[in-house]
Structure 1
Amino acid sequence: MEAGDLPREILIDIFSRLPPKSVGKCRCLAKIWRQQLSTPHFIKSHLTRKTRQENLILITPSHSIHSISTIKDDAISRKLELPGNWTEVVGSCDGMVLLVNEDHEKFLVNPITLQQVQLPNSPQALNRMESFSMHGFGYDSSSDDYKVVTLSYYDTDNEYEPDCVDTFVDVYSVKRGVWKRVNSSPYDHAVPEPSPGAFVNGAIHWLASSREPGYPSVIAAFNLVDEVFDEIPAPSSVDVQNFVFNKLVTLGDCLCLIDARGNGPTNVWIMKEYGLKESWTKFSINGDYEWDIVKPLCLIGDEEVVLVTEGETLVVYNRTSGTLRDMVVDGGPASAIDGGTFLESLVSPASIGA
């Protein structure tokens, strides 16, 4: 039987179960396969499979990009041929990663296929020399669109009032290729270290301060469907006045809050059920280690967490035994200045909205 003799439905079902790299090889075997395995319908079908491998993506101290297969006891690194000096991993969604380079240019990249597109800057962007900005990246299910959200503000450096008078919110539609400005954020987003937003459950999350008396800390969630902010309840055990100085990341598709300040243990909270205050679970990283923990990157199974340290090293913490170990990586350095995770997919940044 030749490749073209198989019914299209059977082909789609068979190949949608394969890893992206295997699909790429199959595309080269027959013209009919290349056509059928490149359609938007097939790519969407492949994306919905839950067997895709989660990988790490890292910016090394030399500002190059590496990906690491996060397979327990078999971490394999490869350098991605993406020229430039990279500085920030903003986030990932459906296999695409939003990266920023030293020139503050934003690129949407598929680390598996190496397809990439440069995103334009917002025509309303504030002057970089006079302002601060933070970015987030996620998926809007209502419009089947990927969006980049930029928060920007002028810092008034006022000791007694909220630092930023207005936080401007600009939203970029990857499908339409346009920026628009929506209503300003109702929160004070001025923080010591502007951080990327954490995308979970259709919203991008940042730590901020309320403008209410006392300026309590909040978890501000920007819903990508309605393009408005809401609040997500914080853990009961955090200091409501000061957790804005913590860090918020995505860990295993959950919101993760980390407090690495001071000389004591590093406290980590994970929201197991989105939006439910009682679902926050906590663990503390103790132990005598050379460098302070910066942030967790990913989970390995149910027990271990991969973290990056201030010393730009990767370590693995076992929550059951309470022990830390250096991460062993085959084929590349076990070091990073920033990082995140992505799932393998065939989604092309260049074809969205085409």
Structure 2
Amino acid sequence: MSDVSPKKFDLPHLGDELLWKIFVKSDPKTVGRCRSLNRVWSYRLSTPLFVKQNFRENKDKDGSVIIGIGYPPTDENSQWFVRADVETGRQFHFGVPMQINHFGYYSLVGDDHGNLCIRLSYGGLNSRIIIWNPLTRDIRYISDEASKHCCHAVSLYAFGYLQDQTEYRIVHVYKRHYAEKNMKWTLFNSIQRDWVHSGTFQSNVHKLGPKPIVQEGVVSWIGWEGVNNSDPAAIITFSLQQRKFSEDIVPEDVKASYHALIQINDNVGFMSYKNLCFTRQVSVWGLKRSANDKHIWEKMVKVTGLGMPYSPTLFVDKDVITLMEARTGFGTSNDGERTDILLSRLKYMHQIRKHLVHRTWNEAVSVKSVSLHSNGLYMV
């Protein structure tokens, strides 16, 4: 050890304004640790203004993909999740705080501002909704409205925060038969902590979904009609703030053989995929809302030669995150079945594909949901 005594000197004083700027740009995990220093810092780093600005600065950093995996044939119900970094593919532990048994399932309703809305069931009608922040581990329990309408033809949820606020809402839409014109809805308010509003709206579409896109407090679904409900007839939107539905017709020239709503560059996008002889083509239109709540369709992306799998697809910056599933059996009843799931990042501008995650299950499983996640400090 050195015989020289350490020198003492005072640290320079950092004003509150400078400290604010430093912490606003710090990653949410670091901010969460600094909250435990004392009560003053805990308060300053927990105000709604700070939480909003910190998320805005960090939402495009350290993004991850959350993949729900489950058994066929249901469309949305998962038994477990896989979480991986969108840049490196590094996988994270993703321990949902509520464990289910082998009769139950998870259903990822939505992911917004760092919080997850998950519907879970322990089997039968015993179900509930949780709002969960994976970073802070905070959790809130909410009654499950869908359990009252489990036999309805349409029964679905959407979750999102109001624009530039720390208040979130959950809407549940349902109707008993596809042929009915009226859809009913109920709305959960995080301030009042209850399902406080309800109503009906008329629509010509038979079915909504399956996955909504929530952007700036507005929920968007594809409305389907026609044979087997396979024709994307309209874009149905619901304002979580105004509690108002609207319906906008999908132009005929954008329709193809496969359609989905996606989020691209902080906008809602309508993706279509079709085969042209021996050529494959993916097109994405941005849906900008006009003053009269109608959509302005603007073509944003057109990629030829790309085979888009019939599973959820995500756009990150100028790249495409794709999931591919492959199932193999050995032809006899005594042989097992294997499922491979490959998560890739496609830089389609340069025709480069980078594999992120390759997982194998020695049974028949499938991808149920895919969601982009960014850590945040929003309260549940």
TM-score with structure 2 setting the length: 0.71
Candidates 292, 297, 304, aligned match of 2:314 = 297
1:79 aligns with 2:101: no
Contact 1:287/1:324 (<8 A) preserved: no
Task: Decide whether the 8 Å contact of 1:154 with 1:164 is kept in 2.
Answer: yes
Contact 1:153 1:164 in 2 (8 A): yes
Asked if residue 21 in structure 1 is aligned to residue 35 in structure 2, the reply is no
Q: 1:42 aligns with which of 50, 58, 78?
A: 50
> Residues 293 and 310 of structure 1 are in contact (CA less than 8 Å); yes or no, is this contact kept in structure 2?
no
Aligned residues: 325
Instruction: Say if 2:113 is the partner of 1:98.
Output: no
3-state DSSP of counterpart to 2:311: strand
Note if contact 2:254-2:272 (Cα within 8 Å) is conserved in structure 1. no
- Return 5+ residue gaps in structure 1 as ranges: 157-162, 350-354
The one of 131, 136, 142 equivalent to 2:158 is: 136
Aligned 1:166-205 pairs, distance under 5 A = 166-191=182-207, 194-205=209-220
- Which residue is equivalent to 1:319? 348
Q: Match of 1:75, SS?
A: coil
Shift of 1:328: 3.8
Measure the CA separation in 2 of the matches of 1:24 and 1:318: 34
Runs of 4 or more, structure 1, over 6 Å off, are: 1-5, 261-264
Three-state SS of the structure 1 residue aligned to 2:17 is: helix
In structure 2, which of residues 310, 314, 322 is the aligned counterpart of residue 307 of structure 1? 322
Q: What is the CA–CA distance in structure 1 between the aligned matches of 2:49 and 2:301, rounded to whole Å?
A: 41
Report the Cα distance in structure 1 between the residues aligned to 2:217 and 2:12, rounded to whole angstroms.
Answer: 39
Q: Deviations over 1:83-104 (max 9, x none)?
A: 4355432222221121222455
Which segment is superposed worse, 78-87 or 339-348?
78-87
Q: Distance in 1 between matches of 2:273 and 2:161?
A: 30
Q: Which moved more, 1:165-174 or 1:21-30?
A: 21-30
Select the residue among 260, 279, 283 that pairs with 2:298: 279
Which residue is equivalent to 2:132?
A: 109
RMSD: 3.7
CA distance in 2, matches of 1:343, 1:283: 27
- Structure 2's unaligned 5+ residue stretches are 1-8, 71-77, 327-340, 360-365
Letter in 1 for 2:270: L
The Cα of 1:206 is off from its aligned counterpart by 0.9
CA displacement 1:296-338 (0-9 Å, x = unmatched): 1231x32x200234544323333224565543479xxxx9431
Residue matched to 1:352: none
Residues 118 and 329 of structure 1: is their aligned pair in 2 closer, same or farther, counting only changes over 3 Å?
Answer: farther
What do residues 128-179 of structure 1 show as CA deviations (whole Å, max 9, x unaligned)? Answer: 13443111112223875211111111125xxxxxx23321111111121121
- Does the aligned pair in 2 maintain the 1:87–1:338 contact within 8 Å? no
Using the TM superposition, give the Cα deviation of residue 31 of structure 1 relative to its aligned residue in structure 2, in angstroms: 5.2
What SS does structure 1 have at the residue aligned with 2:21? Answer: helix
Q: CA deviation at 1:229?
A: 1.4
Q: Distance in 1 between matches of 2:235 and 2:313?
A: 18
Measured in 2, the distance between the counterparts of 1:262 and 1:185 equals: 36
- Tell me, yes or no, if the aligned pair for 1:205 and 1:219 is still in contact at 8 Å: yes
Higher RCO, 1 vs 2 (CA within 8 Å, ≥6 residues apart): 1
What does 1:194-273 correspond to in 2, within 5 Å? 194-209=209-224, 217-232=233-248, 234=250, 237-239=253-255, 246-259=259-272, 265=280, 267-271=282-286, 273=288
The alignment status of 1:12 with 2:39, answered yes or no, reads no
Deviation at 1:201, TM superposition (A): 3.6
| Offset of residue 30 of structure 1 | 4.7
Q: Cα deviations across residues 190-226 of structure 1 (Å, max 9, x unaligned)?
A: 33x8413211243101111589xxx981101111222
Q: Check whether the contact 1:254–1:272 (CA below 8 A) recurs between aligned residues.
A: yes
Q: Which amino acid aligns with 1:128?
A: C
Which of the numbers 351, 358, 370 marks the counterpart of 1:339? 370
Q: Of 57, 60, 78, which residue of structure 1 is paired with 2:66?
A: 57
Counterpart contact for 1:56–1:69, Cα < 8 Å: yes
Give deviations 1:332-353, integer Å, cap 9, x for gaps: xxx943121122211121xxxx
